[in-house]
Structure 1
Amino acid sequence: MKCPRCQNEDPNFFAYDKGVYYCRKCIVFSRVQVGDTIEPCHLSHRIWKGKPKLTYALTEKQKQCSTKTLNYLKQGRDVFVYAATGAGKTEITFASISYYLSQGKKVAFAISRRQVVLEIAERLRKAFCELSVVEVAQDYTQVTDADLIVCTMHQLYRYPYGFDLLILDEVDAFPYAGNTLLEAIVDLSCIGQKLYLSATPSSEILAQIEAGKMEVVKLFERPHKHPLVIPKVIQRDPWRQVLYLLIFCARCQKEHKQVLVFVPRRQDCFWMAWVLRLVCKAVGIHSATHDKDKILEAFRQKQYDVLVCTTLLERGITIGSVQVAVYQAQHIVFSTASLIQIFGRIGRTFDDPAGKGVCLCQYASQSVRECIKLLEWMNDSASSAMPP
């Protein structure tokens, strides 16, 4: 037996009902019976030969990476873009998106996290203002087709055999990383090439690159050409870390700088925000927060000085002039990749390309040490004349 959707062949994941076997592994998406045929989805196709509108011109290295990526895709190869946070991964894909649309082909952007789906959709609307763009995620499922589709990985189940170019952003992040079910859903939705994007490739992706199963394009220089911020590592006991945060946030408030404070657990969000309210306007947010979209937008509008959050906001979020602090950075939830992404929130804009990062911990864990080492390596690589 084999599931026609997720390719499951494990007998433990099949159940028998009224004369037929069905797959329990992917039943969360809908019931599929053994022997069923997965029909292709019906999506609109439009030939568009326009050009995206950018708020700034691509740098020479970005242009080189963009051209190299498109050339590999034209050869029928899957591509992994290994780029530093804030290096312009999204903009590098625009030439490839434009080419596929000019051929009347279908393109989608798939991302692990809902918050990033909403942000990328808005960026694509501005760049491809002549096209319709739809986000498909939790609370956004009434419309599921447009010229460009931006969705969570889970929502790809709606699009079997749907996309000629599938752009997969932050593929090393939860819940996609290591999830064989989502990998199967991704494979089913793509009839052409896959374009992977991340600043922190997993060991599985690196192994595929080494085995020649996909091409790699690297870019570690940010458009403003300032280096990635290397965080200051401060080792203190937990309560002295809190005291440090009070002083740090108070200083940032005087400098009119907002702060993202990352904490390891959901329950840490609200007591930490309560403590920080002694010196500034602070609020907490995590994945189960009911009005998280409203809170995040209020922070963007500078209604709060400090946003205390979990790793929910470690990726894809761009906020100008933000400083970053991590509380209890030695906690297991803060992996090397997570810390690189977190400190990558700093210095992403031309208006304020620098900033402060503070890594508060009881001891410098392996993840903390590797984060510093990799950020320094990316800065060294960015100074080379050509993309490595």
Structure 2
Amino acid sequence: MVDIGRLEVCHKSVLPSGSYMRLALIKEGESLICNRCGSVSHAQEFYLPYKGTYYCPQCIHYGRLTTEDYLVWNEQSIYQPRKIDFQWKGVLTVGQQKVADRIITNYQSSNDSLIWAVTGSGKTEMIFPLIKHALKSGGRVAVCSPRIDVCRELFPRIAEAFPNEHPLLLHGNSEENYRFCFLTICTMHQLLYFYHAFDLLIIDEADAFPYEGNTMLMFASKNALKENGRMLFLTATPSKFLLNHLRTNTEILKLPRRYHGRPLPVPKLVWQNNWSNCQHFWFKRKLVELVDRLIDHSFVLIFCPSILYMHQLYKQLVGIYGEQIMTTVHSEDPNRKEKVQLAREKSFKILITSTILERGVTFEQVSVIVIGANHRIYTKSCLVQIAGRVDRKGNQRNGEIYFIFNRKTTAMREAIYEIKWMNQLALEERRDGL
């Protein structure tokens, strides 16, 4: 039996019985239409003459599909009310509870929701009641994110809250093979393997790369959702693209106040004309002075505009601070997971990173420095997310965020404006007793 909602690829000569099926790749005139990733390609460019078939080039990384293949799934209903063991003992704030109640109401009314909540507001905890409601009614739930680091951060928290659900963590380097479960945490690309599987699809960091503007992943998310399923988007920095592509029945809910009630840190600007040359005497001197001051009370997280620059900066600083208390981490680092965990355990005092840690990770007592904040890689959303790493957890109130730059960009101005705006909204909510 093919798993409920799990797509399998079968050649026409070995089609299983008792399941639904459709052609994986359809040729219409000169076009190829893929039913797994939704792409449309020019047929003659992707012809296999030795087999007399065509293939889809867009999702070939997930297994080649040809015009002789079928996508097979089983869509039988599994709605049976269940008792859910919910172990989270925390308490939601008044604002969080208001949002949590509303997204349940929307789910019951077959409406989608988008939570626009400031970084550090406790978005994960707010979705627990909705997950419990969906599971209790017999539904399947997937919590997805474009970033592996976010999924790794979410998984233990969700697993602890719902221990008897035995949730599954799926990504490109998953340690566990696929198995059927009612609660799945996965990267967006994993949704390509599902069809009409989930009653509730929660997309965390919905504005992040590579989901942002990616038509294939948008198609995959809609494909993985049941026809009457509901979507919930979570983001601190919704993009215009995301807002313009929401379904018409989506309600936007704002939460500008952090869980602990303290405001978002406003970035401090440090002009340095020669930041692009990390060997430059005056830049290096100013950076070391800043790190020396911050390291007395904080774990220091330094963001770099590229991996190459990150390595160059490390070489400049390791001679000063020593490799025992500092390291680097980036998307291609094979020890990325271990280094992030060691940083959480305060094994390092300085972590130099690419933008891979802009979201989805939490460190206690951290201050942040953004090198070259005017670089094109730093969008408004990216800068807001980076600033949100500060003062997320614990009782520390003296974490700081610095933008080192040589030209003030629109992204920098918009990021600072949005942070101040959200802080003002939070202050007004506090005055209103929320």
TM interval, shorter chain, is: over 0.9
Question: Is 2:174 the counterpart of 1:101?
Answer: no
Q: 1:372 aligns with which of 416, 420, 423?
A: 416
Give the share of equivalent positions with the same residue, in percent: 30
Q: Deviations over 1:8-36 (max 9, x none)?
A: 33435873333433322222222334485
For the residue of structure 2 that corresponds to 1:165, the secondary structure is strand
Residue 262 (structure 2) pairs with residue 226 (structure 1): yes
- Which shows bigger deviation, 303-312 or 271-280? 271-280
Give the counterpart of 1:249 among 279, 282, 291. Answer: 291
- Counterpart pick for 1:56 among 68, 90, 95: 90
Cα distance in 2 between the residues matched to 1:247 and 1:178: 40
Distance in 2 between residues matched to 1:50 and 1:13, nearest whole Å: 53
Structure 2 distance, partners of 1:241, 1:198, is 35
Letter of the structure 2 residue corresponding to residue 169 of structure 1: D
- Say whether residues 1:67 and 2:67 are aligned partners: no
What is the letter of the counterpart of residue 168 of structure 1? I
SS in 2 for 1:379: helix
Query: 2:404 aligned with 1:360, yes or no?
Result: yes
* Residues in 1 aligned to 2:406 and 2:171: alpha-carbon distance in whole angstroms: 38
1:162 corresponds to which of 187, 197, 201: 197
Query: What corresponds to 1:215 in structure 2?
Result: 251
Q: How far is the alpha carbon of 1:183 from its aligned partner? A: 1.2
Match of 1:182 in 2: 217
Using the alignment, how far apart are the partners of 2:84 and 2:386 within structure 1?
35
Q: CA deviation at 1:298?
A: 1.5
Hey, what does 2:385 align to over in structure 1? 341
Structure 1 residue 377, shift from structure 2 partner: 0.5
Q: Which has the higher contact order (CA 8 A, sep 6+)?
A: 1
Match of 2:327 among 283, 306, 312: 283
How far the C-alpha of 1:326 sits from its partner, in A, is: 0.3
The residue identity in structure 1 corresponding to 2:173 is D
Deviations 1:180-206 (A, max 9, x none): 111111111111111111111111222
CA distance in structure 1 between the partners assigned to 2:427 and 2:176 by the alignment: 46
CA distance in 2, matches of 1:105, 1:234: 51
Distance 1:117 1:244, change over 3 A: same
Q: Deviations over 1:308-353 (max 9, x none)?
A: 0000000110111111110011100111000000010001114225
TM-score normalised by the chain length of structure 1: 0.92
Q: CA deviation at 1:259?
A: 0.8
Find the partner of 1:125 among 159, 177, 180.
Answer: 159
The one-letter amino acid of 1:285's match is: V
| 2:20 alignment partner in structure 1 | none
Q: Deviation of residue 242 (structure 1)?
A: 3.2
After TM superposition, the structure 1 stretch with the greater mean CA deviation from structure 2, 7-16 or 133-142, is 7-16
Q: State the 1:363 CA deviation.
A: 1.7
1:131 to 1:352, Cα distance in 2 relative to 1, 3 A: farther
Amino acid paired to 1:276 = L
RMSD, aligned α-carbons = 2.4
Tell me which amino acid in the other structure corresponds to 2:353. C
Q: Matched residues in 1 for 2:89 and 2:317: separation?
A: 36
1:195 to 232, 243, 249: 232
Separation in structure 2 between the aligned mates of residue 223 and residue 290 of structure 1, nearest angstrom: 33
Q: Cα distance, 1:56 vs. partner?
A: 3.1
Letter in 2 for 1:202: S
**Residue identity matched to 1:308:** I
CA distance in 2, matches of 1:43, 1:320: 46
What residue identity is the alignment partner of 1:181?
Answer: M
Partner of 2:59: 26
- Report if the CA contact (8 A) 1:117-1:135 is conserved: yes
Which ranges of structure 1 fall in alignment gaps of 5 or more residues? none
Amino acid at match of 2:92: L
Tell me: CA distance 1:79–1:241, structure 2 relative to 1, closer, same or farther (3 Å).
farther
> How many matched pairs?
386
Query: Is 1:3 aligned with 2:34?
Result: yes
| Aligned equivalent of 1:270, options 311, 332, 344 | 311
**Residue type matched to 2:100 in 1?**
S
State how far apart, in whole Å, the 2-side matches of 1:43 and 1:339 are: 45
Deviations, residues 14-72 of structure 1 (Å, cap 9, x unaligned): 73333433322222222334485533368996854336333531000000011111111
| 2:21 match | none
CA contact (8 A) 1:14 1:23 kept: no
Inter-CA distance 375–132: structure 2 relative to 1 (3 Å threshold): same
Q: Determine which of 344, 367, 390 is the counterpart of 1:300.
A: 344
Mapped contact 1:346–1:354 kept (Cα < 8 A): no
Aligned AA (1:200): T
Amino acid paired to 2:63: S
Task: Tell me the CA shift for residue 104 of structure 1.
Answer: 1.0
Instruction: Provide the residue aligned with 2:16 in structure 1.
Output: none
Structure 1 pair 329–381 and aligned structure 2 pair: CA distance change class (3 A) = same
Secondary structure, aligned partner of 1:167: strand
C-alpha distance in 2 between matches for 1:310 and 1:42: 42
Give the Cα separation in 1 of the matches to 2:57 and 2:350: 44
* Bigger Rg, structure 1 or 2: 2
Question: Deviations along 1:278-307, whole A, 9 cap, x unmatched?
Answer: 136211111111211111111111111010
CA contact (8 A) 1:113 1:152 kept: yes
What SS does structure 1 have at the residue aligned with 2:116? strand
Q: Which residue does the alignment assign to 1:40?
A: 73
Structure 2 letter corresponding to 1:129: P
| 8 A Cα contact 2:85 2:163, kept in partner | no
Residue 14 to residue 123, structure 1, CA distance change in 2 (3 Å): farther
SS of the counterpart of 2:351?
A: strand
